[in-house]
Chains A and B, each alone.
Chain A
Amino acid sequence: MHGMINRAIERFVRDTYGREVWQGVTQDLGLEYTEFEPMLVYEATVTGRVLEALCRALDKERDDLLEDIGTYLVSHPNVEAIRRLLRFGGVNFHDFLQSLDDLPERARLAVPDLHLPAMELREHRTSFFSLSVNSGALKMEGFGRVVMGLLRAMADDYGALVLMEHKGSRERTEILEIHLADAAFADGRDFQLSARVNV
């Protein structure tokens, strides 16, 4: 698994629950390190073991934990860079949804060995979508839950009102149902193309 993904989980735990919880988890697992290095690649099994240990330590269901990680990635100021890169995907939430198919390719442009789950959006009728999330390339279940948390937070970011449901998974493909109830429900957060805008 790519260090970026492991590092994201680590940052989530440290920023949300504190260093002690994270150190407890690395000790429990007998890892020889306490920090994941984002630019290195780790063996595939370590991510699953970290998640299991986290569920035990936090007394949380795996699905809920994964969804929380997705929300964290968009909404926490310590990982603002991720939110900004995602916002480049579209000028509104509808536009952003349409960009999800390209997301793995966009990520690979920046970090060539970073593999993200393959996504495919279908619009069944106006404002009703389904998104399939295929984690086959990552050898790990449950990425759809991360995507769900991430989409909820992105909807808030754009100021859109969105209803979502996880429709289960088959052979590492998860289906999310998305209803864009109101694209301009609230103001949303400001986004400037330039990271350093003169005020």
Chain B
Amino acid sequence: MSKMSSIQTAPGMDILCPLHVVLNATGHIVHVGPTLAKILAGRPAVGLRFLELFELKRPRIGQTMEALLGVSGTKLHLQLRGAPRTEMKGVLVPVPAESGLYQQGGALVNLSFGISIVDAVRDFALTSADFAATDLTVEMLYLVEAKSAAMDASRKLNQRLQGAKIAAEEQAFTDTLTGLKNRRAMDYVLTRLIDSETDFALLNLDLDYFKTVNDTRGHAAGDFVLQQVARIMVDETRGDDTIIRTGGDEFVLIFAGITNEKAISEIASRLIKNLEQPIIFEDEACKISGSIGAAFSCDYGKPTQAQMMEDADKALYQAKNAGRGRHVLHRPD
């Protein structure tokens, strides 16, 4: 053995480049830096060919030392053979011609983790001491963690704001006495249905004899009756139907996807029947009823909110004129 083999790398190289590799003229490894040795965790490296330890993913070249020397100075995309198959970046330079330390025709390769650093630090339990003092890795890890924490705080703020926004919108679309939707919500729902060309049935419902309740039993009784009416309408409809209180004792019901005259007739009859059940307020019954006029979007070439409301209103007045407590469907002539 010559003296050369005991000194495998230049003094200080392990401190400057703890991830460097020294190759001899045949492409075999004669030395690995301390951090690379830590990653290999006892796996023998010295004596292996460099390309036995690493797979060169890019550039695609032959497996010879000549081919490796041919891509000196360019960025090498490498992957450690064997688990955890860590991806690394590298750059190779031929050893200086006059170097007495390194074998003529050999090469130095310096490595770094690139973007796989976050996983590598975890997989290999690396510490600050494993990186050169000038290496920015630790600063980068700090930034990754600090930015994640800041992003987390931002995301929580966004969620809270989103929640507040939904609550505010919900309020703005809700009739506070009955919990039903209000006129703004109706405009929104109808616009959406018409724009998306979804067919629907529109029912205008006026309470009958409600004014009498209000006048004889007072506003508290009136409010109570309205709340019971709202409950009846919710019970008699599906979750995705829209029930709107448009004014004092006036309501609109929107049934998306229903174009069937018979189905609407049944719903209207059932609603009226239930509205006519006496509502008990402070031990005394309040008796009301309801009249309904309906229109169907499928009856219009191009339905508009104004036209359908007008037609449903006409039908409603027909129902009232015919004696109240009944429903009339508007159908085209």
Q: Which residue of chain A lies nearest to B147 when distances are taken between CB atoms in the complex? A: A110
Query: A91-107: contact bitstring with B at CB < 8 Å (1 yes, 0 no)?
Result: 10000000000000011
Is A84 interfacial (CB-CB < 8 Å)?
yes
Cross-chain contact A39 with B128 (CB below 8 angstroms): no
Quick one: given A39-B153, A194-B122, are A91 and B129 in contact (CB under 8 Å)?
A: yes
Taking CB atoms, residues of chain A closer than 8 Å to B121 are 193-194
Quick one: given A88-B138, A106-B142, are A111 and B122 in contact (CB under 8 Å)?
A: no
Cross-chain contact B122 with A197 (CB below 8 angstroms): yes
Cross-chain contact A110 with B157 (CB below 8 angstroms): no
Contact of A111 among B126, B129, B145, B150 (CB under 8 A): B150
Query: A164-176: contact bitstring with B at CB < 8 Å (1 yes, 0 no)?
Result: 0000000000000
Q: In the bound complex, what is the Cα–Cα distance between A84 and B147 (angstroms)?
A: 13
Quick one: given A194-B118, A197-B125, are A84 and B145 in contact (CB under 8 Å)?
A: yes
| Distance between B70 CB and nearest chain A CB, rounded to angstroms | 37
Contact of A195 among B145, B150, B157, B160 (CB under 8 A): B145
Total cross-chain contacts (CB, 8 A): 57
Query: A15-49: contact bitstring with B at CB < 8 Å (1 yes, 0 no)?
Result: 00000000000000000000001111000000000
Q: In the bound complex, what is the Cα–Cα distance between A84 and B139 (angstroms)?
A: 13
Q: Which residue of chain B lies nearest to A87 when distances are taken between CB atoms in the complex? A: B142
Taking CB atoms, residues of chain B closer than 8 Å to A39 are 150, 153-154, 157
Q: Which residue of chain A lies nearest to B158 when distances are taken between CB atoms in the complex? A: A39
Cross-chain contact A109 with B146 (CB below 8 angstroms): yes
Taking CB atoms, residues of chain B closer than 8 Å to A198 are 122-123
Q: Which residue of chain B lies nearest to A82 when distances are taken between CB atoms in the complex? A: B149
Taking CB atoms, residues of chain B closer than 8 Å to A195 are 145
Q: Which residue of chain B lies nearest to A89 when distances are taken between CB atoms in the complex? A: B142
Taking CB atoms, residues of chain B closer than 8 Å to A124 are none
Q: In the bound complex, what is the Cα–Cα distance between A181 and B213 (angstroms)?
A: 88
Is B267 interfacial (CB-CB < 8 Å)?
no
Taking CB atoms, residues of chain A closer than 8 Å to B118 are 194
Cross-chain contact B146 with A193 (CB below 8 angstroms): no
Residues of A within 8 A of B (CB): 4, 37-40, 81, 84-85, 88, 91, 106-107, 109-111, 192-198
- Pull 18 A–B residue pairs with CB atoms less than 8 Å apart, ordered by A: A4-B153, A38-B153, A39-B150, A39-B154, A81-B145, A84-B145, A85-B142, A88-B138, A91-B129, A106-B146, A110-B147, A111-B146, A192-B125, A193-B121, A193-B128, A194-B118, A196-B122, A198-B122
Leading 10 A-B pairs by shortest Cβ distance: A110-B146, A194-B122, A88-B142, A194-B121, A39-B157, A91-B128, A38-B153, A193-B121, A110-B150, A81-B149
Extra inter-chain contacts (5) besides given A91-B128, A110-B149, A194-B122, CB under 8 Å: A85-B142, A106-B146, A110-B150, A193-B128, A195-B145
